[in-house]
């Protein structure tokens, strides 16, 4: 049985989290290992181990989470997403991060760490199934 990921991108504007997108993420176990230590192989060091779902997730993310009954739930903050982007692009070619997660509008992960043009913050909320 394989492992899949469900990922929601949430953005903060004016102090409130908003649902941005829910991209389809390919089954790539090295990526899962980097994001949360799930299906760890090839010596990939995780950014962090699963920490659960944030208490203040958006309604859309919450509904999907409650219906999905996923496992190994976690989230990455802005700086952790920047670290993930560097890893993805370094090992797999420039702009591979955008190929996988989609373009996050007005976000410049390389030039302004921790700052976006219109968003106060960005996070990836995700969980796995089929572990």
Per-residue pLDDT of the chain (131 residues; tens, 9 = 90+): 688 999 999 999 889 999 999 999 988 899 999 999 988 777 899 999 999 999 999 999 999 999 987 788 999 998 898 888 888 887 666 567 777 777 665 455 555 544 556 778 889 999 998 64
SS3 7: strand
The residue written with tokens 């394989």 in the block is 2
pTM of the shown model: 0.85
DSSP result, 55-116: TT--HHHHHHHHHH--EEEEEE-HHHHHHHHHHHHHHH-TTHHHHHH---TTB-TTTSTT-B
At 98, list the tokens. 């955008």
């Amino acid at each position: 049985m394989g492992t899949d990921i469900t990922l929601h991108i949430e953005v903060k504007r004016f102090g409130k989290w908003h649902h941005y997108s829910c991209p389809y993420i390919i089954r790539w176990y090295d990526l899962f290992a980097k994001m949360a230590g799930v299906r760890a192989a090839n010596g990939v060091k995780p950014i962090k181990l699963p920490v659960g779902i944030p208490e203040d997730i958006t309604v859309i993310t919450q509904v999907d989470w409650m219906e999905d009954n996923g496992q190994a739930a976690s989230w990455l903050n802005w700086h952790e997403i920047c670290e993930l982007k560097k890893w993805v692009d370094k090992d797999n070619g420039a702009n591979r991060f955008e190929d996988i997660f989609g373009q996050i509008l007005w976000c410049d992960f390389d030039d302004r760490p921790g700052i976006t043009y219109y968003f106060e913050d960005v996070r990836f909320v995700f969980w796995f199934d089929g572990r």
